[in-house]
Amino acid sequence: MFETLKPQPADKILSLMAAYREDPRADKIDLGVGVYKNPEGVTPVMRAVKAAEQQLWQEQTTKAYTGLAGDPAYADALISLIFAGSVERDHIAAVATPGGTGAVRQAFELIKLANPSVRVFVSDPTWPNHISMLKHVGLEMVPYRYFDEETCGVDVEGMLADLKGARKGDVVLLHGCCHNPTGANPNSADWKAIVAILQETGATPMIDLAYQGFGDGLEDDAAATRLIASSVPECLIAASCSKNFGVYRERAGLLMAVSQEAGQVAVTQGTLAHLNRQNFSFPPDHGARLVTMILTDDALRADWKAELEEMRSGMLKLREQLATELRRLTGSDRYAFIAQHRGMFSRLGLPPEIVERLRADHAIYMVGDSRLNIAGLNANTVPILANAIAETAG
Ligand code: PLP
Ligand code: TYF
Protein backbone atom coordinates (compact mmCIF):
# COMPACT_ATOMS: atom_id res chain seq x y z
CA MET A 1 0.00 0.00 0.00
CA PHE A 2 2.87 2.42 0.60
CA GLU A 3 3.28 2.79 -3.17
CA THR A 4 0.23 5.05 -3.14
CA LEU A 5 2.07 7.63 -1.02
CA LYS A 6 3.13 10.85 -2.69
CA PRO A 7 6.13 12.99 -1.70
CA GLN A 8 5.03 15.70 0.72
CA PRO A 9 6.12 19.32 0.39
CA ALA A 10 9.11 19.99 2.65
CA ASP A 11 8.96 22.47 5.53
CA LYS A 12 10.92 25.45 4.11
CA ILE A 13 12.41 26.34 7.49
CA LEU A 14 13.61 22.80 8.18
CA SER A 15 15.03 22.45 4.62
CA LEU A 16 16.97 25.66 5.14
CA MET A 17 18.48 24.14 8.30
CA ALA A 18 19.74 21.21 6.23
CA ALA A 19 21.18 23.47 3.50
CA TYR A 20 23.02 25.50 6.16
CA ARG A 21 24.52 22.37 7.69
CA GLU A 22 25.89 21.31 4.30
CA ASP A 23 27.44 24.69 3.44
CA PRO A 24 31.25 24.31 3.84
CA ARG A 25 31.92 28.08 4.20
CA ALA A 26 33.47 28.79 7.64
CA ASP A 27 31.95 32.27 7.95
CA LYS A 28 28.34 31.15 7.30
CA ILE A 29 25.62 32.76 9.45
CA ASP A 30 22.42 30.89 10.39
CA LEU A 31 19.42 33.20 10.76
CA GLY A 32 16.89 30.49 9.86
CA VAL A 33 15.08 28.25 12.30
CA GLY A 34 13.53 29.89 15.37
CA VAL A 35 15.80 28.62 18.10
CA TYR A 36 17.39 30.99 20.62
CA LYS A 37 21.17 31.15 20.47
CA ASN A 38 23.57 32.94 22.82
CA PRO A 39 26.39 35.14 21.45
CA GLU A 40 28.56 32.01 21.09
CA GLY A 41 25.93 30.46 18.81
CA VAL A 42 24.88 27.88 21.42
CA THR A 43 21.29 27.05 22.42
CA PRO A 44 21.96 26.53 26.12
CA VAL A 45 20.08 24.42 28.64
CA MET A 46 18.87 27.16 31.00
CA ARG A 47 20.44 27.19 34.49
CA ALA A 48 17.13 26.61 36.29
CA VAL A 49 16.31 23.70 33.94
CA LYS A 50 19.67 22.05 34.74
CA ALA A 51 19.08 22.52 38.47
CA ALA A 52 15.53 21.15 38.25
CA GLU A 53 16.75 18.15 36.23
CA GLN A 54 19.34 17.33 38.83
CA GLN A 55 16.74 17.54 41.60
CA LEU A 56 14.27 15.49 39.58
CA TRP A 57 16.86 12.78 38.92
CA GLN A 58 17.45 12.48 42.65
CA GLU A 59 13.86 12.69 43.82
CA GLN A 60 11.65 11.14 41.14
CA THR A 61 10.45 7.72 42.24
CA THR A 62 8.26 6.70 39.30
CA LYS A 63 7.72 7.31 35.64
CA ALA A 64 4.28 5.72 35.61
CA TYR A 65 1.62 7.42 33.45
CA THR A 66 0.32 10.79 34.59
CA GLY A 67 -3.24 11.46 33.35
CA LEU A 68 -4.72 12.25 29.94
CA ALA A 69 -4.50 15.95 30.79
CA GLY A 70 -0.96 15.65 32.18
CA ASP A 71 -0.06 16.61 35.74
CA PRO A 72 -2.66 19.13 37.01
CA ALA A 73 0.11 21.03 38.82
CA TYR A 74 1.65 21.86 35.41
CA ALA A 75 -1.60 23.39 34.14
CA ASP A 76 -1.98 25.35 37.40
CA ALA A 77 1.57 26.70 37.25
CA LEU A 78 1.40 27.74 33.60
CA ILE A 79 -2.09 29.20 33.92
CA SER A 80 -0.87 31.37 36.75
CA LEU A 81 2.16 32.50 34.68
CA ILE A 82 -0.01 33.33 31.67
CA PHE A 83 -3.11 34.79 33.35
CA ALA A 84 -1.79 36.06 36.73
CA GLY A 85 -5.31 35.81 38.15
CA SER A 86 -6.96 37.82 35.34
CA VAL A 87 -9.25 34.83 34.63
CA GLU A 88 -10.61 32.55 37.36
CA ARG A 89 -8.97 29.12 37.44
CA ASP A 90 -12.33 27.32 37.39
CA HIS A 91 -13.21 28.99 34.09
CA ILE A 92 -10.29 27.30 32.33
CA ALA A 93 -10.13 23.77 30.91
CA ALA A 94 -6.52 22.75 30.22
CA VAL A 95 -4.54 19.79 28.93
CA ALA A 96 -0.81 19.28 28.52
CA THR A 97 0.27 18.65 24.92
CA PRO A 98 3.44 17.68 23.03
CA GLY A 99 4.81 21.22 22.59
CA GLY A 100 2.98 24.28 21.39
CA THR A 101 2.49 22.55 18.04
CA GLY A 102 0.56 19.81 19.84
CA ALA A 103 -1.57 22.45 21.55
CA VAL A 104 -2.36 24.13 18.22
CA ARG A 105 -3.20 20.78 16.64
CA GLN A 106 -5.48 19.73 19.52
CA ALA A 107 -7.17 23.15 19.39
CA PHE A 108 -7.94 22.59 15.70
CA GLU A 109 -9.35 19.16 16.54
CA LEU A 110 -11.56 20.66 19.25
CA ILE A 111 -12.77 23.38 16.89
CA LYS A 112 -13.59 20.81 14.23
CA LEU A 113 -15.53 18.71 16.71
CA ALA A 114 -17.47 21.76 17.94
CA ASN A 115 -18.20 23.22 14.49
CA PRO A 116 -17.09 21.29 11.37
CA SER A 117 -18.11 24.21 9.13
CA VAL A 118 -15.96 26.71 11.06
CA ARG A 119 -13.82 29.22 9.17
CA VAL A 120 -10.46 29.90 10.79
CA PHE A 121 -9.14 33.42 10.15
CA VAL A 122 -5.34 33.46 9.93
CA SER A 123 -2.93 36.39 9.63
CA ASP A 124 -1.29 36.87 6.25
CA PRO A 125 1.41 35.73 6.76
CA THR A 126 1.37 33.30 9.68
CA TRP A 127 3.51 30.41 10.96
CA PRO A 128 3.47 27.90 8.04
CA ASN A 129 2.50 25.05 10.39
CA HIS A 130 -0.81 26.80 11.14
CA ILE A 131 -1.70 26.54 7.47
CA SER A 132 -0.46 23.00 6.93
CA MET A 133 -2.24 21.70 10.06
CA LEU A 134 -5.49 23.47 9.18
CA LYS A 135 -5.34 21.80 5.76
CA HIS A 136 -4.49 18.45 7.30
CA VAL A 137 -7.35 18.63 9.81
CA GLY A 138 -9.64 19.81 7.00
CA LEU A 139 -10.71 23.23 8.24
CA GLU A 140 -11.58 26.18 6.02
CA MET A 141 -9.12 29.04 6.23
CA VAL A 142 -9.64 32.76 5.63
CA PRO A 143 -6.53 34.97 5.55
CA TYR A 144 -6.72 38.44 7.10
CA ARG A 145 -4.42 41.32 6.15
CA TYR A 146 -1.64 41.72 8.69
CA PHE A 147 1.76 42.82 7.38
CA ASP A 148 2.26 46.15 5.68
CA GLU A 149 5.04 45.55 3.13
CA GLU A 150 5.77 49.28 2.91
CA THR A 151 6.30 50.04 6.60
CA CYS A 152 7.06 46.47 7.75
CA GLY A 153 4.57 47.15 10.58
CA VAL A 154 1.05 45.82 11.15
CA ASP A 155 -1.56 46.89 8.57
CA VAL A 156 -3.98 47.68 11.39
CA GLU A 157 -6.69 49.12 9.18
CA GLY A 158 -6.63 46.15 6.83
CA MET A 159 -6.54 43.69 9.71
CA LEU A 160 -9.54 45.23 11.50
CA ALA A 161 -11.53 45.50 8.27
CA ASP A 162 -10.92 41.83 7.45
CA LEU A 163 -11.71 40.63 10.99
CA LYS A 164 -15.10 42.32 10.71
CA GLY A 165 -15.92 39.62 8.15
CA ALA A 166 -15.79 36.90 10.85
CA ARG A 167 -19.02 35.74 12.47
CA LYS A 168 -20.18 33.68 15.43
CA GLY A 169 -18.96 30.12 14.94
CA ASP A 170 -15.73 31.28 13.26
CA VAL A 171 -12.32 31.29 14.91
CA VAL A 172 -9.77 34.12 14.73
CA LEU A 173 -6.21 32.87 15.19
CA LEU A 174 -3.95 35.52 16.75
CA HIS A 175 -0.31 35.51 17.87
CA GLY A 176 -0.36 36.61 21.53
CA CYS A 177 3.03 38.35 21.17
CA CYS A 178 6.18 38.25 19.01
CA HIS A 179 4.42 37.49 15.72
CA ASN A 180 6.04 34.71 13.68
CA PRO A 181 7.21 35.31 10.94
CA THR A 182 7.03 39.13 10.84
CA GLY A 183 8.05 40.43 14.30
CA ALA A 184 5.38 43.16 13.84
CA ASN A 185 2.75 43.30 16.59
CA PRO A 186 -0.42 45.24 17.38
CA ASN A 187 0.03 47.92 20.09
CA SER A 188 -2.27 48.09 23.11
CA ALA A 189 -4.77 50.42 21.39
CA ASP A 190 -4.86 48.01 18.41
CA TRP A 191 -5.55 45.07 20.75
CA LYS A 192 -8.49 46.97 22.23
CA ALA A 193 -9.86 47.53 18.74
CA ILE A 194 -9.39 43.81 17.96
CA VAL A 195 -11.30 42.90 21.14
CA ALA A 196 -14.14 45.26 20.19
CA ILE A 197 -14.46 43.46 16.83
CA LEU A 198 -14.40 40.04 18.48
CA GLN A 199 -17.19 41.20 20.80
CA GLU A 200 -19.17 42.64 17.89
CA THR A 201 -18.85 39.61 15.62
CA GLY A 202 -19.04 36.89 18.30
CA ALA A 203 -16.14 35.03 16.63
CA THR A 204 -13.99 32.93 18.98
CA PRO A 205 -10.37 33.99 19.38
CA MET A 206 -7.58 31.42 19.48
CA ILE A 207 -4.25 32.72 20.73
CA ASP A 208 -0.94 31.10 19.88
CA LEU A 209 1.45 32.05 22.69
CA ALA A 210 4.88 30.64 21.89
CA TYR A 211 7.21 33.49 22.95
CA GLN A 212 6.06 34.85 26.33
CA GLY A 213 9.09 36.66 27.78
CA PHE A 214 10.87 37.17 24.43
CA GLY A 215 9.25 40.51 23.51
CA ASP A 216 8.58 43.17 26.16
CA GLY A 217 8.79 40.88 29.22
CA LEU A 218 6.72 38.13 30.83
CA GLU A 219 3.87 40.41 31.92
CA ASP A 220 3.63 42.66 28.86
CA ASP A 221 3.80 39.68 26.50
CA ALA A 222 0.76 38.16 28.22
CA ALA A 223 -1.23 41.41 28.28
CA ALA A 224 -3.13 40.81 25.03
CA THR A 225 -4.00 37.24 26.08
CA ARG A 226 -5.26 38.47 29.47
CA LEU A 227 -7.29 41.25 27.87
CA ILE A 228 -8.91 38.98 25.29
CA ALA A 229 -9.62 36.09 27.67
CA SER A 230 -11.34 38.40 30.14
CA SER A 231 -13.36 40.26 27.49
CA VAL A 232 -15.02 37.57 25.38
CA PRO A 233 -17.32 34.64 26.24
CA GLU A 234 -14.89 31.94 25.09
CA CYS A 235 -11.35 31.61 23.84
CA LEU A 236 -8.58 29.10 23.20
CA ILE A 237 -4.92 29.55 24.11
CA ALA A 238 -2.14 27.29 22.78
CA ALA A 239 1.00 27.88 24.85
CA SER A 240 4.53 26.59 24.28
CA CYS A 241 7.38 26.32 26.81
CA SER A 242 9.92 25.46 24.09
CA LYS A 243 11.42 28.93 23.79
CA ASN A 244 10.98 30.63 27.16
CA PHE A 245 12.22 27.57 29.09
CA GLY A 246 14.55 26.36 26.30
CA VAL A 247 13.07 22.85 26.48
CA TYR A 248 12.42 22.48 22.74
CA ARG A 249 12.92 18.74 22.36
CA GLU A 250 11.06 17.86 25.57
CA ARG A 251 7.80 18.95 23.93
CA ALA A 252 6.06 20.95 26.67
CA GLY A 253 2.86 22.73 25.65
CA LEU A 254 -0.54 23.49 27.16
CA LEU A 255 -3.91 23.96 25.50
CA MET A 256 -6.40 26.07 27.45
CA ALA A 257 -10.08 26.75 26.75
CA VAL A 258 -11.57 29.66 28.69
CA SER A 259 -15.35 29.93 29.20
CA GLN A 260 -17.10 32.78 31.00
CA GLU A 261 -19.76 30.16 31.67
CA ALA A 262 -18.11 28.05 34.42
CA GLY A 263 -20.73 25.32 33.90
CA GLN A 264 -19.25 24.63 30.46
CA VAL A 265 -15.75 23.83 31.73
CA ALA A 266 -16.25 20.19 32.81
CA VAL A 267 -17.50 19.08 29.38
CA THR A 268 -14.75 21.03 27.59
CA GLN A 269 -12.14 19.51 29.93
CA GLY A 270 -13.50 16.03 29.24
CA THR A 271 -13.46 16.66 25.50
CA LEU A 272 -9.85 17.87 25.57
CA ALA A 273 -8.81 14.77 27.53
CA HIS A 274 -10.73 12.61 25.04
CA LEU A 275 -8.90 14.26 22.12
CA ASN A 276 -5.54 13.66 23.81
CA ARG A 277 -6.48 9.99 24.17
CA GLN A 278 -7.37 9.69 20.48
CA ASN A 279 -4.01 11.10 19.40
CA PHE A 280 -1.35 10.07 21.92
CA SER A 281 -3.05 9.28 25.25
CA PHE A 282 -0.68 10.75 27.81
CA PRO A 283 1.26 13.92 26.98
CA PRO A 284 5.03 14.04 27.60
CA ASP A 285 5.85 14.82 31.23
CA HIS A 286 9.57 15.51 31.58
CA GLY A 287 9.63 19.09 30.23
CA ALA A 288 6.27 19.88 31.84
CA ARG A 289 7.58 18.68 35.21
CA LEU A 290 10.71 20.83 34.95
CA VAL A 291 8.56 23.86 34.11
CA THR A 292 6.33 23.12 37.12
CA MET A 293 9.31 22.74 39.45
CA ILE A 294 10.81 26.02 38.25
CA LEU A 295 7.58 28.00 38.50
CA THR A 296 6.74 26.72 42.00
CA ASP A 297 10.19 27.16 43.61
CA ASP A 298 11.13 30.75 44.50
CA ALA A 299 14.87 30.37 43.86
CA LEU A 300 14.53 28.43 40.59
CA ARG A 301 11.84 30.82 39.35
CA ALA A 302 13.94 33.90 40.13
CA ASP A 303 16.96 32.43 38.35
CA TRP A 304 14.87 31.41 35.33
CA LYS A 305 13.36 34.90 35.09
CA ALA A 306 16.81 36.48 35.32
CA GLU A 307 18.21 34.29 32.54
CA LEU A 308 15.14 34.82 30.33
CA GLU A 309 15.52 38.56 30.84
CA GLU A 310 19.19 38.36 29.78
CA MET A 311 18.12 36.56 26.60
CA ARG A 312 15.38 39.10 25.88
CA SER A 313 17.55 42.16 26.46
CA GLY A 314 20.35 40.61 24.39
CA MET A 315 17.98 40.24 21.44
CA LEU A 316 16.74 43.84 21.87
CA LYS A 317 20.34 45.12 21.85
CA LEU A 318 21.03 43.23 18.62
CA ARG A 319 17.89 44.78 17.09
CA GLU A 320 19.08 48.25 18.01
CA GLN A 321 22.61 47.60 16.78
CA LEU A 322 21.35 46.29 13.43
CA ALA A 323 18.92 49.19 12.91
CA THR A 324 21.65 51.72 13.78
CA GLU A 325 24.20 50.07 11.51
CA LEU A 326 21.73 49.99 8.61
CA ARG A 327 20.82 53.65 9.16
CA ARG A 328 24.52 54.55 8.95
CA LEU A 329 25.17 52.46 5.85
CA THR A 330 22.04 53.35 3.87
CA GLY A 331 21.66 56.92 5.11
CA SER A 332 17.93 56.25 5.60
CA ASP A 333 15.44 55.12 8.23
CA ARG A 334 14.11 52.41 5.99
CA TYR A 335 15.19 49.67 8.44
CA ALA A 336 14.17 51.47 11.67
CA PHE A 337 11.35 48.91 12.07
CA ILE A 338 13.90 46.27 13.11
CA ALA A 339 14.25 48.02 16.49
CA GLN A 340 10.45 48.25 16.81
CA HIS A 341 9.76 44.61 16.03
CA ARG A 342 9.66 42.19 18.97
CA GLY A 343 10.57 38.57 19.58
CA MET A 344 13.02 36.40 17.73
CA PHE A 345 12.00 37.31 14.20
CA SER A 346 11.90 40.23 11.82
CA ARG A 347 10.64 40.13 8.29
CA LEU A 348 12.80 42.56 6.35
CA GLY A 349 10.51 42.90 3.35
CA LEU A 350 13.26 41.90 0.88
CA PRO A 351 12.41 40.09 -2.37
CA PRO A 352 13.37 36.39 -2.69
CA GLU A 353 16.17 37.20 -5.18
CA ILE A 354 17.92 39.31 -2.55
CA VAL A 355 17.46 36.59 0.11
CA GLU A 356 19.00 34.15 -2.37
CA ARG A 357 21.95 36.47 -3.11
CA LEU A 358 22.60 36.91 0.61
CA ARG A 359 22.86 33.13 0.86
CA ALA A 360 24.89 32.57 -2.34
CA ASP A 361 27.29 35.54 -2.04
CA HIS A 362 27.50 36.07 1.72
CA ALA A 363 26.62 32.66 3.29
CA ILE A 364 23.81 34.38 5.21
CA TYR A 365 20.84 32.08 5.69
CA MET A 366 17.39 33.55 6.29
CA VAL A 367 13.97 32.16 5.37
CA GLY A 368 12.85 32.88 1.77
CA ASP A 369 10.24 35.42 2.89
CA SER A 370 13.15 37.48 4.35
CA ARG A 371 12.46 36.41 7.95
CA LEU A 372 15.60 36.48 10.05
CA ASN A 373 16.20 35.06 13.51
CA ILE A 374 17.69 37.92 15.52
CA ALA A 375 19.14 35.46 18.06
CA GLY A 376 21.31 33.98 15.27
CA LEU A 377 23.36 37.21 15.35
CA ASN A 378 25.99 38.54 17.76
CA ALA A 379 27.77 41.88 18.10
CA ASN A 380 30.40 40.75 15.55
CA THR A 381 28.03 39.42 12.89
CA VAL A 382 25.58 42.36 12.96
CA PRO A 383 27.96 44.61 10.93
CA ILE A 384 28.59 41.74 8.49
CA LEU A 385 24.85 41.30 7.93
CA ALA A 386 24.26 45.06 7.71
CA ASN A 387 26.99 45.44 5.09
CA ALA A 388 25.64 42.53 3.08
CA ILE A 389 22.07 43.93 3.17
CA ALA A 390 23.24 47.44 2.25
CA GLU A 391 25.33 46.04 -0.60
CA THR A 392 22.66 43.73 -2.08
CA ALA A 393 19.41 45.58 -1.28
CA GLY A 394 20.48 49.18 -0.60
N1 PLP B 1 3.49 28.63 17.40
C2 PLP B 1 4.39 29.42 16.84
C3 PLP B 1 3.96 30.69 16.22
C4 PLP B 1 5.73 29.06 16.83
O5 PLP B 1 6.63 29.85 16.26
C6 PLP B 1 6.11 27.84 17.42
C7 PLP B 1 7.49 27.44 17.30
O8 PLP B 1 8.35 27.33 17.73
C9 PLP B 1 5.12 27.05 18.04
C10 PLP B 1 3.82 27.47 17.98
C11 PLP B 1 5.33 25.75 18.73
O12 PLP B 1 6.53 25.35 19.07
P13 PLP B 1 6.79 23.97 19.80
O14 PLP B 1 5.88 22.95 19.21
O15 PLP B 1 8.22 23.69 19.55
O16 PLP B 1 6.49 24.18 21.25
O1 TYF C 1 9.27 29.16 13.03
C2 TYF C 1 10.24 28.60 13.54
O3 TYF C 1 11.36 28.67 13.07
C4 TYF C 1 10.03 27.84 14.86
C5 TYF C 1 10.56 26.42 14.85
O6 TYF C 1 7.99 22.71 11.53
C7 TYF C 1 9.84 25.47 13.97
O8 TYF C 1 8.70 27.92 15.18
C9 TYF C 1 9.99 25.52 12.59
C10 TYF C 1 9.38 24.60 11.78
C11 TYF C 1 8.62 23.60 12.34
C12 TYF C 1 8.46 23.54 13.71
C13 TYF C 1 9.07 24.48 14.52
Does residue 3 sit within a domain? no
Does residue 273 sit within a domain? yes
Distance 107 CA to ligand 1 centre (A): 14
Does residue 2 sit within a domain? no
* 127 in active site: yes
pLDDT at 10: 86
* pLDDT, tens digit, 9 for 90 and up, residues 332-376: 999 999 999 999 999 999 999 999 999 999 999 999 999 999 999
What is 52-82 written as a DSSP string? Answer: HHHHHHHH--------TT--HHHHHHHHHHH
Give the active site residue among 51, 93, 210, 388: 210
> 12 vs 36, 343, 359, CA distance in Å?
19, 20, 15
Q: Residue with the nearest Cα to atom 2 of ligand 1?
A: 210
Residue 35: nearest ligand to its CA?
A: 2
Distance 12 CA to ligand 2 centre (A): 9
Q: Do 283 and 338 have their domain in common?
A: no
Per-residue pLDDT, averaged over 191-202, amounts to: 98
Evaluate if residue 394 carries a pLDDT over 80.
no
* 208 in active site: yes
**Coil, strand or helix: which one is 153?**
strand
Per-residue pLDDT, averaged over 125-129, amounts to: 97
Does residue 137 sit within a domain? yes
- Mutational test site, ligand 1, from 97, 127, 214, 254, max ligand atoms within 8 Å of CB: 127
Calpha distance 321→377 (Å, rounded): 11
Is the distance from CB of 98 to CB of 250 less than 8 angstroms?
no
**Coil, strand or helix: which one is 359?**
helix
Residue 116: DSSP 8-state: T
Is the distance from CB of 221 to CB of 253 less than 8 angstroms?
no
What is 218-270 written as a DSSP string? Answer: HHHHHHHHHHHHTTSSEEEEEEE-TTTS--GGG-EEEEEEEESSGGGHHHHHH
Q: Which amino acid is at 10?
A: A
Distance 180 CA to ligand 1 centre (A): 9
Per-residue pLDDT, averaged over 290-303, amounts to: 98
Total domains in the chain come to 2
Range of the domain at 345: 10-44+312-393
Q: Using 50, 70 and 90 to split pLDDT, how confident is the model at 324?
A: very high
Calpha distance 84→217 (Å, rounded): 14
The answer to whether the bond into 125 is cis (omega within 30° of 0) is yes
Residues having CB closer than 6 A to ligand 1 are 34, 99-101, 104, 127, 175, 180, 208, 210, 240, 242, 248, 253
ipTM higher than the 0.95 cut: yes
Distance 341 CA to ligand 1 centre (A): 18
CATH number at residue 256: 3.40.640.10
Is the distance from CB of 143 to CB of 179 less than 8 angstroms?
no
CATH number at residue 27: 3.90.1150.10
Per-residue pLDDT, averaged over 143-158, amounts to: 97
Q: Do 27 and 74 have their domain in common?
A: no
